[in-house]
Amino acid sequence: MTNLELSWALAEMGDLLELKGEEPFKVRAYQRAARALEHLEEEAASLYARGELERIPGVGKNLAKKIAELLETGRSTFLEQLRQEVPPGLRDMLAVPGLGAKSVRVIHQHLGITTLEELERAARERRIRQLPGMGSKTELAILRGLDMLKENRDRIPLGIARPLAQLFCRQLSALPGVAKVEVAGSLRRGCSMVGDVDLVVGVKGPTEVKEVMARHPQVKEVLLEEENRLSLRTWAGVKVEIFLVPEDKFAPAWLYLTGSPAHREELGRFAAERHLSLEKLGLPRRLEEAEASFRSEEEFYSRLELPFIVPEWREGRGEVWAAREGRLPALITLKDIKGDLHIHTRYSDGLHTIREMVEAARARGYRYMAITEHSRSLAVARGLSAEQLLAQREEIARLNRELDDFVVLSGIEVDILPDGRLDLEDDILASLDIVIASIHSGFNQKEEQIMARLEAAMRHPWVDIIGHPTGRMLGRRPSYAVNLERLLELAAETGTILEINASPDRLDLDEDAARRAKEYGVLLAINTDAHDMGRLEDMWYGITVARRGWLGPEDLLNTRELDGVLKALKRNRGNGGKHSAPGQGNARP
Ligand code: DGT
Ligand code: CA
Ligand code: ZN
């Protein structure tokens, strides 16, 4: 079992224990160990082999025993027993945005509710608000959360589907008879929300793929089994489709299963104009009809005299003709990214120190990074006061004197308050290298108020970037009332940069907004908003959004060297009241 699977198992134990009403400290122990396992550098299996499981933070004798059983047998009697004890409907209720295990337990205890339908009825009948610790706000939140769930019924965020797919790919690749495993479908195309996880397995001999996957500890049920296909549902509710194809038919099958159907149609029209047919070129009409007609997707596209079209562009949005005429943007890759401009550390609600974040960024080959903590009014996130900010600037300055191949920018993610003012004084904002302004409160305001706040921030001389501009949380919270066209117009007019927040539970701006932004000539920054070292990897998600929005490296801020970044900031372009030299704070351009 991998660390990730162990982590999932412990997290589930924690949830179930909480639903059962276990002592909070016990529940927290499972949650803490689950997080530690997720970020563990070494495989727990090798720690176990050396008898060192208890070196994992948060793991004592009891948890070590449970992990040992999972490692040895792939199962956990404790977890299986918990799953028996807790009604499955309660676990569904946990998936409702805004509903934690504690509230689910109270609702279950007092009202005997075990299904989402009963929960909705109780909320509509105003029976939730009478329960201890709840009110009409909880009721509203539940109804809104249920609406969101229904809207996204059976669709899951990319950030949940992708790690699961990677795990299954790794495990399947190791099985006898398996030549190759790849992700297909909307997941390969990088859609922010996907219906399921599609996996193509190239088979080169007898294999037990189906048997092994049906017994997988993450798998709750087999939905469908055919000779060359297996449909599963995981405990987390994710549907997984596994397609088995002979090795020599892998490329055509992979191309077919990647889609999208709209891309295929566009290819068909393009081929027809040239008196060609896709089937004759080797792209089957149905998966069963796949032949060993080409060895790679590149080969297929070249038969149509097209350059390779990456999956992110395969949506039937004119990509085929654009490819033909050389109008597709240059492909952005991780190598193009020179730095990350939205980072939290232990100073506010992050997990790691500035130095640790810097080391992680350097390991990725970055040249710079901006430390942007929350400001004081965001008390839940331990926002910084002006004094703490100054202390942090000292530390950053010291670090910069030490580093010769990397620059740390001293910044802030300042709150745009409900009345449109910023959460810090102008002279403090002016003294920093970079300022991101974001909305973290007053989400329910009318469009007029929201837009007034955003406009005030964008017209502010010391605001360089607007963070997560629409405020949406994927699958959990809709955006606040933003008028996107007006936002883009103002960004263009004021020279404010907009963020593509790469955190997979945001992806904000989304791909369509990113594409519109380019048309408005608005510069975008892909920022991870990382709260720990591991999350610097989320840059991948941001790049995927940018690719799907047809952006090229030149449309982005942080594909530039530091010098170019600083020059692009509003504060350094003389638009502000008093002009400050680039990097006046700590940066040395
Ligand atoms: P999803 O799962 O709803 O997010 O979207 P996809 O694109 O992954 O769709 P899915 O999982 O139903 O099928 C995976 C791919 O298989 C799809 O992108 C293209 C191919 N495919 C499936 N059914 C059809 C079909 O009826 N016609 C064509 N042309 N392709 C299909
Ligand atoms: Ca799919
Ligand atoms: Zn934020």
> Residues lining ligand 2 (ion), CB within 5 A?
185-186, 195-196, 198
Query: What's the CA-to-centroid distance between 279 and ligand 2, angstroms?
Result: 22
Query: What's the CA-to-centroid distance between 405 and ligand 3, angstroms?
Result: 28
Q: Whose CA is nearest to atom 11 of ligand 1?
A: 185
Domains in the chain (CATH in brackets) are 3-151 (1.10.150.110), 156-324 (3.30.460.10), 339-572 (3.20.20.140)
With b meaning 16 or more CB within 10 Å and e meaning fewer, what string describes 248-257?
A: ebbbbbbbbb
Answer yes or no: is the C-beta of 135 below 6 A from any ligand 1 atom. no
155 CA: nearest ligand 1 atom: 4
Answer yes or no: is the C-beta of 259 below 6 A from any ligand 1 atom. yes
DSSP per-residue string spanning 168-181: HHHHHHTSTTEEEE
Q: Which tokens go with 209? A: 């793929």
The reported pTM is 0.80
**Strand intervals (E) in 442-558:** 465-466, 497-501, 524-527
Answer yes or no: is the C-beta of 584 below 6 A from any ligand 1 atom. no
Give, as one character, the DSSP assignment of residue 383. Answer: P
19: which residues sit within 8 A by CB, 6+ positions away?
Answer: 86, 90, 91, 94, 101, 104, 105, 108
The CA-atom distances, in angstroms, between 254 and each of 124, 295, 483 are 47, 11, 39
| CA-closest candidate to residue 424, choices 465, 452, 391, 457 | 457
pLDDT digit string (tens) for the chain, length 589 residues: 778 778 888 988 998 999 988 998 999 999 889 888 877 878 899 999 999 999 998 899 999 999 999 999 988 999 999 989 998 888 888 878 778 888 899 999 999 998 989 999 999 998 998 898 888 888 888 888 888 777 666 788 899 899 899 989 988 998 889 999 999 999 999 999 999 999 999 999 999 899 889 888 778 899 999 999 999 998 777 899 999 999 999 999 999 999 999 999 999 999 999 999 999 999 999 999 999 999 999 999 999 999 999 999 999 999 999 999 999 999 999 999 999 999 999 998 888 999 999 999 999 999 999 999 999 877 766 788 888 998 999 999 999 999 999 999 999 999 999 999 999 999 999 999 999 999 999 998 999 999 999 999 999 999 999 999 999 988 777 899 999 999 999 999 999 999 999 999 899 999 999 999 999 999 999 999 999 898 999 999 999 999 999 999 999 999 999 999 999 999 998 654 333 333 344 443 3
Answer yes or no: is the C-beta of 185 below 6 A from any ligand 1 atom. yes
348 φ, ψ (degrees, to nearest 5): -115, -120
